[in-house]
Amino acid sequence: MDNEDNEIIEKLILSGALQMAGVNESTGEILYQFTPKLKDVMPALYNEHLNYVNAEIMRLWEKGFVNVDLMSDNPIVTLTSKALDDDALKDLSEEDRWAIEEMKRIMTTGEL
């Protein structure tokens, strides 16, 4: 990471748009998550992130791990029983498993 990236991360943390989410057990790397403040602090990054999240949800829907009412103006995403099946989760990429774990965390805590 270069100085410019570090400055952006610092700005996001200080503005409350980015917060620590945990530590990657494999690498020891700090994990961060965006907060709803991102929309106001950096709208372009917010839109990019939203597009990424939507693509991730669609990929998990195609694989049968989430349900989404695609016809709704404000679709609700729910986990399927497959998302709770450890054997099925083993076949996913680390990124997809992390996404499902993040959905579980949000659904449990209500915190974005």
DSSP string over 21-52: EEE-TTT--EEEEE-TTHHHH-HHHHHHHHHH
Separation between Cα atoms, residue 13 and residue 5, nearest integer Å: 12
Separation between Cα atoms, residue 103 and residue 59, nearest integer Å: 14
* pLDDT tens over the chain, length 112 residues: 688 888 999 999 999 999 988 887 788 888 888 999 999 999 999 999 999 988 999 999 999 999 998 888 888 899 999 999 999 999 999 889 989 988 888 888 776 6
Question: What is the residue type of 71?
Answer: M
Q: In this structure, what are the phi and psi dihedrals at residue 23, rounded to the nearest 5 degrees?
A: -130, 135
Contact call for residues 26 and 56 (beta carbons, < 8 A): no
Question: What is the residue type of 54?
Answer: N
